[in-house]
Structure 1
Amino acid sequence: MRVGLAFWSLLCWSLLVPSAQATELVRVLLFQDVQRVDLSAGEGMTVRLSSGDERAFETPLIVTSLADGMVVNGERLQTEGVTVRGRQDLRVAVEGQIEAQRPDRPAERAAVFLRPLSQGATASPGPAPVPQATEPTGTMVVSGTLHVLRRGQGLMVINAVDLEEYVKGVVPSEVSSSWHQEALKVQAVAARTYALYQQMINAGRDYHLVSSIQDQVYRGRHGVDPRVQQAVEDTRGIVVTHLNAPILAAFSSTAAGQTEDAVNVWSKDLPYLKGVECPFDTNSPYYQWWTSFKIVDLETNLRQKGMAVGSIANVSPLSYSRAGRVATVRILHSNGELILRGEDLRRVVGYAVIPSTQFELEAVGPELVLSGYGSGHAVGLCQWGAKELAELGYHFPAILQYYFPGTELKDARLLESVSLSTP
């Protein structure tokens, strides 16, 4: 990666940016399996039923689910869903997630992050000074419209929002708005590209994306400030492409040395998601960590996932990826042997417990103790690496094309309709 690349990428991009503006909507799942939804807006709301009928309601609006419809402000309606529009931003709050519908989540004892090395100082235990991306709480303020759908025993809340407004909600939820402006632009382009990719492959579903780390964190209008708005406007419409289509623009917090090949994480062998050197994120508060968990808890979690394991006798890394991460682990137990992918071990134990697959492991009494580096799957863009490169003077096109090799930056509004193929 050379300084000249940053200049030429910026120059070429400046010749491509069109002045026309277009509207693209994405559907984002905010909440699901809830029993009550409270909606409010500054100047009243219009509610459209699934039959197409429209009604005007004063705020606040309270929606609950029935076996054969919904109750809206005390009125029983024969409808599978309602679409709510407000003249101003909408505030949505939910209550009563149905316990049986919650995904299995192990009891998590989060990893301890170590303070980054500074001028040769020894790393010491301590809380990370900057929070990682956090999932939405039970209350959000959003632009666009809200779809409240009856699904199963509960309600699902989906935000249909303009793509650029969506990106404004993702950027400050994923990184700090105080970061260098070029780093904010990098995050904006990555978020926009990821959203369009998911829009294409999920076109037939109720929603394109979820608002959590399952896709990318979106908290509506929360945290949207002038710096975020400027970064999004400065990159309006820009996406990372391969073969004239938006890519799977994966990103994670801290690669800690080298990014990972997608094939080792998701079994997707994508040419633009190959690992690259990443020595730029050593100042990340998530660079180094330590964690432990009880072996009996691992047994319980594996059984909850349908794996017939007995009493575990030994857990050890079996193979490593090209980037040096644990690709597979061998678990010896009283019923035999289980080979588990490193990423699956993270999923079973908890992503907050095992921040990455770049770790060493040993048994200490009844516990497994792991010490490792990095945070996240490490595929594609490294957020803290992008921050450092921006501070070194690189512009957003060069940073993105470094982490996504073989790609081009284009304006999504100029792309022809393409048939997206995924492995």
Structure 2
Amino acid sequence: MKRYLKIALAFLLLGAFFVPMGFAGEPSVSVGLASGVSNCTLKANSITFYDASGKQASFRGTVSVSAGGRNNIAVGGKTLALPVTVKSKGLLYLNGKPYRGIFRLVASSNSFTVVNELPIEDYLKGVLKIEVNPNWPMEALRAQAITARTYALAERGRHGSAGFDLCATDHCLPYRGVSAEDSRLTQAIESTRGMVLYYGGRPAATFFHSDSGGWTSNVQSVWGQDIPYLRSVQEPFEYQSPYSSWSLKISGDEIGRRLSRAGIDVGSVFEIRPAKFGPGGRVETVEIVGSRGRKTIKSHDLRMALGAKELKSTMFTVSADGQAPRVVKPAPKPSEPDGAQSQSSTLITLTREGAFTSEELLDMLLHPEKKEEYVQKALARRGGKALAPSTPESSSKKDPKLLWPQWEMPDESADRDTTGVARGTTFVFQGKGWGHGVGMCQWGAKAMAENGWSAEKIVKYYYPGTQLQKLY
């Protein structure tokens, strides 16, 4: 499960909490199964459609549904006005997959969205198998049921503008309907029926993840919000998971491209330094140096940019190989030959005017002996156009980092901590754990259950300060 959700956190902290009781006192939840579709098939032994105008249409077996223009659908030769409610006494099938509850078809531009509305306990039956192994200890399964129930209630309305509460992907909680049900998971859900973690009078933001690597994350270092019950805690028991050790090898060029797509433009990366560590050695911020500058970013943002399935967690170390660019140290003032001064001045002026491509700049970085060759090429491209004068006065009005890339600037931070610096052209991340690290660790909960902890004790450990209450 992935939670990269600043907006959701703000909603949880600021929004009011309301739970409709549409199923005999049990809260309901609506899940978007298929958004913006032009057609689908629905099936049931007996299926009835109720449209917005009060019209009804009943069918048996499989029926095709297609968009019929703005706010209308066509079903079995009949035109129905959206929104349309679809009911059956048994299971309802969408494109061959079974679901409990009812369907609602709501307008979406010139198409429609299929929404599954059902009691939250039935909803959980279609969620838990995507999150945990049914063969795990029962108390770990019960802990997952409590956290998933709490999370779903806290997140209700997240997709309200689209006509439903939650989506069926890991953006919210993965949901597969009846196809994902399992008897042991159903037992875990029923044995914790109505049990919800509260904080400040509303359901808590019970984020969870696969493997913490030994220490969970402080939510503030991941998404920025300060939530008292989402602080870093150490796993009380050692355990092994499929993610206890992993590695990622990636070039500095590729890191630069992926960072750029995420809005972090430092060019081709040649240096990475973990800048701040959290409890247990988890990396919280990293300093990235590339051909177009230097930035310090959250390690979570680096993970999202590189890919959460590749950089599996922020519990990592980083090393590098390949020829590393040279950071120029402060040197005594002039004693350059006139020719060298002239070349340096020309190079600075051309760089300031954007005469070189990023590839040329990087090549000069790695092969300083090619500078003269590229200067001549840049001058030739100018077609004899005179260079703008480079004077101390004009240069002083510019940020010196704009005159020449960062790697050629004097190292102004002589006292900069270089501990753990990885400098080169290819980087290797060695890590453990999987996920954002916030809240309950599923493999950690399994270890707790194996050591005799109850579900109630497990969730209280991961969400300290919350209150476990029975809602219904």
TM-score, normalisation: structure 2:
0.68
Alignment equivalent of 2:226, drawn from 266, 269, 286 = 269
Contact 1:40 1:90 in 2 (8 A): yes
Secondary structure at the residue paired with 2:147? helix
Structure with the higher fraction of residues in helix conformation? 2
Which position in structure 2 is the counterpart of 1:295?
252
Quote the Cα distance in structure 1 between the aligned partners of 2:111 and 2:157.
27
Residues 282-326 of structure 1, C-alpha deviations (whole Å, 9 max, x = no match): 222222211223433333333333444433333332222234222
Residues 247 and 51 of structure 1, relative CA distance in 2, 3 Å threshold = same
Alignment equivalent of 1:403, drawn from 462, 466, 469 = 462
Quote the Cα distance in structure 2 between the aligned partners of 1:244 and 1:325.
32
Quote the Cα distance in structure 1 between the aligned partners of 2:72 and 2:235.
52
Contact 2:72 2:81 in 1 (8 A): yes
Structure with the higher fraction of residues in strand conformation? 1
Quote the Cα distance in structure 2 between the aligned partners of 1:66 and 1:346.
43
Amino acid at match of 2:230: L
Contact 1:69 1:150 in 2 (8 A): yes
Secondary structure at the residue paired with 1:177? coil
How far is 1:367 from its partner?
3.7
Which position in structure 2 is the counterpart of 1:126?
none
Quote the Cα distance in structure 1 between the aligned partners of 2:68 and 2:307.
34
Which position in structure 2 is the counterpart of 1:47?
49
Which position in structure 1 is the counterpart of 2:206?
249
Residues 193 and 300 of structure 1, relative CA distance in 2, 3 Å threshold = same
Residues 21 and 402 of structure 1, relative CA distance in 2, 3 Å threshold = farther
Calculate the aligned-residue CA RMSD, in Å. Answer: 2.5
Contact 1:361 1:368 in 2 (8 A): yes
Residues 328 and 140 of structure 1, relative CA distance in 2, 3 Å threshold = farther
Alignment equivalent of 2:94, drawn from 68, 92, 95 = 92
Residues 44 and 294 of structure 1, relative CA distance in 2, 3 Å threshold = farther
Matches within 5 A, 1:339-354: 339-354=296-311
Contact 2:82 2:106 in 1 (8 A): yes
Which position in structure 2 is the counterpart of 1:37?
40
Which position in structure 1 is the counterpart of 2:451?
392
Quote the Cα distance in structure 2 between the aligned partners of 1:408 and 1:70.
46
Residues 353-375 of structure 1, C-alpha deviations (whole Å, 9 max, x = no match): 11111111233455432110111
Contact 2:106 2:112 in 1 (8 A): yes
Quote the Cα distance in structure 1 between the aligned partners of 2:57 and 2:308.
44
Residues 161-181 of structure 1, C-alpha deviations (whole Å, 9 max, x = no match): 110001122121210111111
Quote the Cα distance in structure 2 between the aligned partners of 1:228 and 1:269.
33
Quote the Cα distance in structure 1 between the aligned partners of 2:100 and 2:282.
41
Residues 300 and 83 of structure 1, relative CA distance in 2, 3 Å threshold = farther
Matches within 5 A, 1:16-165: 22-41=25-44, 43-65=45-67, 67-73=69-75, 75=77, 77=79, 79-93=81-95, 140-152=97-109, 154-165=111-122
Quote the Cα distance in structure 2 between the aligned partners of 1:215 and 1:323.
28
Quote the Cα distance in structure 1 between the aligned partners of 2:197 and 2:267.
47
Residues 33-53 of structure 1, C-alpha deviations (whole Å, 9 max, x = no match): 444322222x12112224443
Which position in structure 2 is the counterpart of 1:232?
189
Structure 2 gaps, min length 5: 1-22, 323-424
Quote the Cα distance in structure 2 between the aligned partners of 1:360 and 1:169.
37
Secondary structure at the residue paired with 1:378? coil
Query: 2:276 matched to 1:319?
Result: yes
How far is 1:208 from its partner?
2.0
Contact 1:272 1:405 in 2 (8 A): yes
How far is 1:344 from its partner?
1.6
How far is 1:204 from its partner?
6.6
Quote the Cα distance in structure 2 between the aligned partners of 1:183 and 1:349.
31
Residues 63 and 21 of structure 1, relative CA distance in 2, 3 Å threshold = closer
Structure 1 gaps, min length 5: 1-19, 94-138, 414-423
Secondary structure at the residue paired with 1:387? helix
Which position in structure 1 is the counterpart of 2:346?
none
Residues 49 and 304 of structure 1, relative CA distance in 2, 3 Å threshold = farther
Amino acid at match of 2:200: L
Residues 36 and 355 of structure 1, relative CA distance in 2, 3 Å threshold = farther
How many corresponding residue pairs?
A: 348
Higher Rg of the two aligned structures: 2
Contact 1:69 1:80 in 2 (8 A): yes
Quote the Cα distance in structure 2 between the aligned partners of 1:185 and 1:34.
36
Which position in structure 1 is the counterpart of 2:124?
167
Which position in structure 2 is the counterpart of 1:190?
147
TM-score, normalisation: structure 1:
0.75
Secondary structure at the residue paired with 1:229? helix
Which position in structure 1 is the counterpart of 2:385?
none
Matches within 5 A, 1:279-294: 279-280=236-237, 282-294=239-251
Which position in structure 2 is the counterpart of 1:381?
440
Matches within 5 A, 1:10-21: none
Contact 1:180 1:391 in 2 (8 A): yes
Quote the Cα distance in structure 1 between the aligned partners of 2:238 and 2:79.
54
